[in-house]
Amino acid sequence: MSAPLLKVENLCVNYGHIEAARGISIEVGEGEFVGMIGSNGAGKSSALKAIAGVVKPASGSITLGGKPVQGLASHEMVHQGVALVPEGRFVFADQSVEDNLILGGFVQAQRSGVAALRDDIDRMFQLFPRLKERRTQQAGSLSGGEQQMLVIARGLMSHPRLLLIDEVSLGLAPKILDFLFPVLVDLNRQGLSILLVEQIATRALAVTSRAYVMENGNVKISGRSSDLVKDAAVMEAYLGKQH
């Protein structure tokens, strides 16, 4: 069996004296779509930020393609092929939609040139036609759903090997989610590895192949998504009836 693309072992993340994540171990294989689910405050986002290099882990190991990457800064992780779609969207509000995409493609443009960058922008506009209609509009004036499309597209502009997505559903209407989740499935089918952090468990389990259920900073249970969604005890104990 080949080594996983991402391997996290005994990851701990602290904020001062507060332990946000304790001893987390997860894997994402090449071309796999994996979920991390659980209630708010379970440690999901903290683990994702440590993997992306946004926060420095207190301990543990992170390897990407067998190469140790724990402790690398977020911009260094982009060079390693990891892109983060952050919680809360965080667009460059005073920049146009197109300029946001250009910023996301900066690393790739250094490798492949301006012509390839333009091709990538066109590809994002094909993926998200609503962004094409608003290419010159300031990103801060977009709707919440359009901003989420933009941050996903911005992450894809770096040609990641692994896309990390933090709470894609946050504050969005079901109609927008009905569009976004199939887009992620299609991207995965094209070979992109995805690690999705999500509170709405049923949404995440419907699109992922495997999932880790987190509670109080720990991975409590893991398994095939199709099995977890059928397990009433798991849904009740760890995810809540509302999910």
Residue 192 in any domain: the answer is: yes
By DSSP bridging, strand 59-64 and strand 218-224 are unpaired
pLDDT given at position 217:
87
Q: Which of 159, 185, 215 is the last residue of a domain?
A: 159
Report the alpha-carbon distance of residue 140 to residue 80 in Å, rounded.
Answer: 29
Average of per-residue pLDDT values in the chain: 91
Find the mean pLDDT for residues 147-175. Answer: 94
CATH number at residue 70: 3.40.50.300
Q: Which of 159, 182, 207 is the last residue of a domain?
A: 159
What's the whole-model pTM score?
A: 0.92
Which domain, by its residues, includes 119? Answer: 92-159
pLDDT > 70? residue 1: no
Q: Which of 118, 143, 159 is the last residue of a domain?
A: 159
Residue 86 in any domain: the answer is: no
Residue 35 burial by CB count (10 A; 0-12/13-18/19+): exposed, middle or buried?
A: buried
Find the mean pLDDT for residues 89-100. Answer: 91
Find the mean pLDDT for residues 97-101. Answer: 96
Band of pLDDT at residue 237, cut at 50, 70 and 90: low
Residue 38 in any domain: the answer is: yes
Find the mean pLDDT for residues 206-215. Answer: 94
Residues 6+ apart with CB under 8 A from 228: 205, 211, 213, 221, 234, 235
Residues 73 and 104 in one domain: no
pLDDT > 60? residue 184: yes
Q: What pLDDT digit, counting tens, does each position of 217-236 carry?
A: 889 999 999 999 888 877 77
What type of residue is 137?
Q
Residues 133 and 196 in one domain: no
